[in-house]
Amino acid sequence: MKGNIVVGQSGGPTAVINSSVAGVYAAAKKLGINKVYGMVHGIEGFLKGDLCDLDEQIGDETGIELLKRTPSAFLGSCRFKMPKIEGHEDTYEKVFEIMEKYDIECLFYCGGNDSMDTVKMLSDYAAAHNKPQRFMGVPKTIDNDLPITDHCPGYGSAAKYIATSIKEIMRDNESFGFDRQTVVVVEIMGRNAGWLTAAAALAKGSDCTGVDAIYLPERTFDVDKFMDKVKETAKKKASVVIAVSEGVKIADGRYVCELANENVAVDAFGHKQMSGTAAYLCSLVAKETGLKTRAVEFSTLQRAATHLASLTDINEAFQVGFDAVLAAEDGKTGMMITLDRNGDDPYQCGTSAYDIHAIANVERTVPDEWINETGDGLNDGYEKYARPLIMGELTPIFVNGLPRHLVRK
């Protein structure tokens, strides 16, 4: 590439999205690309001309190592959806104008479903208007719901955090006996796909009995069956721990969290803001059984806990960024880098570039065959899939007792 490149981050942050930026930057350095720009707050900031120079921001190899250990979007994120082209040609022209101004040949965008739509729209516009600029998608989402790719960078680290925290919560809850029997309901992110909640299944092992039930949004939530499960388990065990997705819905289509609060807020993409499912279910349990309950929400910790990131995940996040630059150097555009699993044991994974049209706006949920018959747990198929993704650790760089992060200047 003779010109420069730009990389942006979009959508909800993850523990390893910065590792993808590090991968883009490292590949550009290797190829001798002149300038690597960063979009400050994604395409929304880019449209305002808000760019930074990654040589200044990252600098040397120590900067890359710190960046890999920095949670959330180092460059700043956005939730900006490109408008439909018709009637908004000026917005599209603005993107190309800024790219020309900074001699940017290729734009790399790290994100999930909504962000891949931005890559699709921009590459479609370029094709329709004979523009030479290229657009590449770099997958990122803790939700793990992008199609085609075996899994998404960000998921493994979130799953590792969830499974570790579930183990710790279970130990805590087991410390008291039947005299202080407590039902814990853990609420986990995932609006439509249960991938994150499924990770609760990974807690089980020879030192952990595992959670008592896992409720995914892939199955209709039945409040009565949930209550039966709690009562039945509480007869046998002093500690009851249940994982539930924030996105579970009852038969009439309403979210469980809506049963507690009818005025659920809506975000810029029209998505409802979830929260309160565990608290609501706990209140039901307490009322019906008199048992002590505790609702736990991992909240943003599950997507920001880089101190416990999976090394596999960090490396793959880096790789998809790196390989996106190699693909663009090859002349590719309108594609996303996918992770292609070649083996489970030992785990092996390669990458390829795939047409963005098959990916943007498509949501992949947990396969039916991995959910048990009673719809309240996962089977070995899921474990075989997910276990390799949480393997390995990258020791944080501790300064003054806390993990050190890289800060944008």
When binding is defined by CB under 8 A, the residue of 85, 227, 260, 301 that contacts a copy of itself is 301
When binding is defined by CB under 8 A, the residue of 25, 41, 151, 359 that contacts a copy of itself is 41
When binding is defined by CB under 8 A, the residue of 4, 19, 20, 72 that contacts a copy of itself is 72
The residue among 183 and 335 lying less far from a copy of itself, judged by its C-beta, is: 183
The residue among 129 and 171 lying less far from a copy of itself, judged by its C-beta, is: 171
When binding is defined by CB under 8 A, the residue of 5, 126, 285, 390 that contacts a copy of itself is 390
When binding is defined by CB under 8 A, the residue of 6, 44, 142, 210 that contacts a copy of itself is 44
Residue 315 to residue 330: CA distance in whole angstroms: 22
The residue among 33 and 73 lying less far from a copy of itself, judged by its C-beta, is: 73
- At 394 the three-state DSSP class reads coil
When binding is defined by CB under 8 A, the residue of 49, 83, 132, 205 that contacts a copy of itself is 205
Query: Residue 140, interface with a copy of itself (CB under 8 A)?
Result: no
Query: Residue 189, interface with a copy of itself (CB under 8 A)?
Result: no
Query: Residue 308, interface with a copy of itself (CB under 8 A)?
Result: yes
Measured CA to CA in angstroms, residue 48 lies from 27, 45, 220, 264 at distances of 27, 5, 44, 32
Q: Which residue type occupies 28?
A: A
The residue among 151 and 160 lying less far from a copy of itself, judged by its C-beta, is: 160
What region does 134 belong to: left with phi over 0, alpha with psi -120 to 50, or beta? beta
- Give every CB contact of residue 108 below 8 A, 6+ residues apart in sequence: 5, 6, 7, 8, 24, 136, 137, 138, 321, 324, 325, 328
**Peptide bond before residue 346 is cis, with ω within 30 degrees of 0:** yes
Residue 334 to residue 135: CA distance in whole angstroms: 5
Query: Residue 406, interface with a copy of itself (CB under 8 A)?
Result: yes
- Of 188, 398, 208, nearest to 303 by C-alpha is 188
Angle at 385 between CA 172 and CA 20, to 5 degrees: 90
**Using an 8 Å Cβ cutoff, are 295 and 277 in contact?**
no
**Would you call 143 a catalytic residue per the annotation?**
yes
Which listed range, 117-125, 224-232, 339-347, 387-395, lies at the site for a copy of itself (CB under 8 A)? 387-395
Per annotation, catalytic residue among 114, 143, 145, 212: 143
What region does 190 belong to: left with phi over 0, alpha with psi -120 to 50, or beta? left
Which listed range, 24-32, 52-60, 342-350, 392-400, lies at the site for a copy of itself (CB under 8 A)? 392-400
The residue among 101 and 171 lying less far from a copy of itself, judged by its C-beta, is: 171
When binding is defined by CB under 8 A, the residue of 31, 128, 362, 391 that contacts a copy of itself is 391
Query: Residue 232, interface with a copy of itself (CB under 8 A)?
Result: no
Q: Which residue type occupies 340?
A: D
Least CB distance to a copy of itself at residue 391 (A): 5
H/E element, 106: strand 104-111
Residue 365 to residue 83: CA distance in whole angstroms: 26
- Residues with active-site annotation: 143
Contacts with a copy of itself by CB under 8 A lie at: 9, 13, 41, 44-45, 70-73, 76-79, 160, 163-165, 167-169, 171-177, 179-180, 184, 202-203, 205, 207-208, 265, 268, 292, 294, 296-297, 299-301, 303-308, 310, 387, 390-393, 395, 398-407
